[in-house]
Amino acid sequence: MSVLVLDANSNAAMAIIRSLGRKGIKVIAADFFPRALGLKSRYAKETFCYPDPLENVSLFLKFMQQKLKELSVELIIPTTDRTMAPMVKNRNIIPEGVILAAPENGSFQIAQDKIKTYNLARDCGIPVPRAIFMGKYDEFLRHSYEISYPVVVKPAQSKNWVNDKGCSLSVSYANNRDELISLLKQYSYAGEVIVQEYVQAGGCGIEILADRGEVLLAFQHNRLREVPISGGASSLRESAPLNRELFNYTKKLINKLHWTGVIMAEFKYNQEQKKAYLIELNGRFWGSLNLAIASGIDFPYYLYLLLVKKEKHYLNEYKIGVKAKAITKDIEWVESALRKSDQLENMQFPSRGQALKAMSRLFEANMCYDFQSWDDPMPGIYELISIANSYLLRLGNLARKRQHAQKVSGT
């Protein structure tokens, strides 16, 4: 029997493939992208590609239904909403006896939907940033007097499907009325959006493994660098002691959702004021998963033990101060810092010296990396090749633009 890991190009999938593979568990890795980095891992004993769920979700589900009949799989682990959302909604395609690493549909829908999460948090007495829910421009006119800028604009769901065709929607920022109106028009086809006050504070995550609302394992990481710099995915993170306030907030949510599986609660935390805000829930494995494993909490293996072996007694101890880096994202962070480019105006950017120091220390001895690993080198090598190719392509495009400008100016 084996474990099927989907979305093999994601940071989380890479961590899961290595975690289970190192434990001697047979891993099958799959992605819609043929050059997905997880497919290069020595721990992926079998690999295949499936149709992109965002291009045609019905085709993806039909393919997976047939593929699961052919494979000898005991556990399926989707690692992004691209596959998680359609698999949770269509569990009927999964053969009897095969476990999907996802909570029940009702709990997942609340965690996946930022507005439902927001309302749940308020019901539980958990602090959240001030927010307004909008779907159309006329709703903006009704609420415009309540808005103070800058604001964070989030679609209720990051993945949205209409007539089999899906789209990926990201978090954006608006510095003024015009920018907000433009974003609302862009997101108009995706249903409601949440317009939220921008909180200037450090980002951190509380990661949990739970069984029917009971917390079995807990871990905390603090974000040291994020892309974009104003707030986003972490490029550098560090394991930290559990903040009891944030942990207790997360426990409330887990209990209310009767959650089984892994989940991350993302917070903004103002250290000086000791004030916390819940930003969102991530009802699946998170991008910085490799840090938790390196620190001593092997979430993928413990999830396997819980769901497949029905074991749930683990030692919840981990090392503090362990750091993990996502190379591609960290290069983006350096470039944003040097260019002083971000969606938010009046941002306090890192100094040029800080950016250059980060670039000079891109690789450090006492650091773990999302894709680079001595015992499994190929994914990390391919990531570096991909980075080099992208910058060569950019340089080539820049040279062509300059040549074109010279020709125009010479005529």
Instruction: Please report whether residue 107 resides in a domain.
Output: no
Ranges of beta strands (E only) in 96-150 are 99-100, 131-134
287 and 233 in one domain? yes
158 and 50 in one domain? no
227 and 315 in one domain? yes
Instruction: Please report whether residue 336 resides in a domain.
Output: yes
Q: Could you tell me the CA-to-CA distances from 11 to 22, 111, 168, 201 in Å, in that order?
A: 17, 20, 18, 25
143 and 98 in one domain? no
At 32 the pLDDT is: 98
Phi first, then psi: what are they for 265, rounded to 5°?
-105, 125
The DSSP string of 290-348 is: HHHHHHT--HHHHHHHHHTS----------SS-EEE-HHHHHHHHHHHHHT--SSTT--
Evaluate whether 245 touches 220 at the Cβ level (below 8 Å). Answer: no
Instruction: Please report whether residue 66 resides in a domain.
Output: yes
CA distance 5 to 13: 7
Evaluate whether 198 touches 228 at the Cβ level (below 8 Å). Answer: no
CA distance 253 to 276: 15
210 and 356 in one domain? yes
Which of 327, 341, 333, 405 lies closest to 370 in space, CA to CA? 327
Which tokens is 331 given? 């290069």
Evaluate whether 196 touches 156 at the Cβ level (below 8 Å). Answer: no
Beta strand pairing call for 172-174 and 151-155: antiparallel
292 and 333 in one domain? yes
The CA-based diameter of the chain, rounded to the nearest angstrom, is 76
CA distance 227 to 341: 11
Which tokens is 150 given? 């800058």
CA distance 363 to 145: 48
CA distance 154 to 266: 14
Rounded (5°) CA angle 228-194-183:
65
Instruction: Please report whether residue 320 resides in a domain.
Output: yes
207 and 191 in one domain? no
DSSP 1: -
Instruction: Please report whether residue 383 resides in a domain.
Output: no
Q: Which of 145, 162, 197 is the last residue of a domain?
A: 197
**CATH number of the domain that residue 176 is part of:** 3.30.1490.20
pTM: 0.94
At 404 the pLDDT is: 66
Which of 198, 197, 110 lies closest to 156 in space, CA to CA? 110
348 and 251 in one domain? yes
Q: Which of 197, 231, 252 is the last residue of a domain?
A: 197
68 and 142 in one domain? no
At 137 the pLDDT is: 55
163 and 146 in one domain? yes
At 138 the pLDDT is: 59
178 and 223 in one domain? no
At 411 the pLDDT is: 55
Note down pLDDT in tens along the chain; length 411 residues. 899 999 999 999 999 999 999 999 999 999 999 999 999 999 999 999 999 999 999 999 999 999 999 999 999 999 999 999 999 999 999 999 999 999 988 999 999 999 999 999 999 999 999 998 876 555 666 666 677 889 999 888 888 888 899 888 888 898 988 888 888 877 776 678 889 999 989 999 999 999 999 999 999 999 999 998 888 889 999 999 999 999 999 999 999 999 999 999 999 998 888 899 999 999 999 999 999 999 999 999 999 999 999 998 888 899 999 999 999 999 999 999 998 887 787 778 888 899 899 988 889 888 999 999 999 999 999 999 999 999 898 887 777 777 766 677 665
Instruction: Please report whether residue 410 resides in a domain.
Output: no
- Find all residues with CB under 8 Å of 240, minimum gap 6, and list them: 204, 220, 221, 222, 320
Instruction: Please report whether residue 252 resides in a domain.
Output: yes
Instruction: Please report whether residue 387 resides in a domain.
Output: no
At 366 the pLDDT is: 85
Domain that holds residue 7: 2-102
CA distance 31 to 41: 13
**CATH number of the domain that residue 21 is part of:** 3.40.50.720
Task: Write the single-letter amino acid at 400.
Answer: R
Q: b/e map of 225-261 (b: 16 or more CB within 10 Å)? A: bbbbbbbbbbbbbbbbebbeebbebbbbbbeebebbb
168 and 86 in one domain? no
At 107 the pLDDT is: 94
Total tally of structural domains belonging to the chain:
3
Q: Which of 142, 166, 197 is the last residue of a domain?
A: 197
The DSSP string of 185-215 is: HHTGGG--EEEEEPP-SEEEEEEEEEETTEE
Helix (H, G, I), strand (E, B) or coil at 239: strand
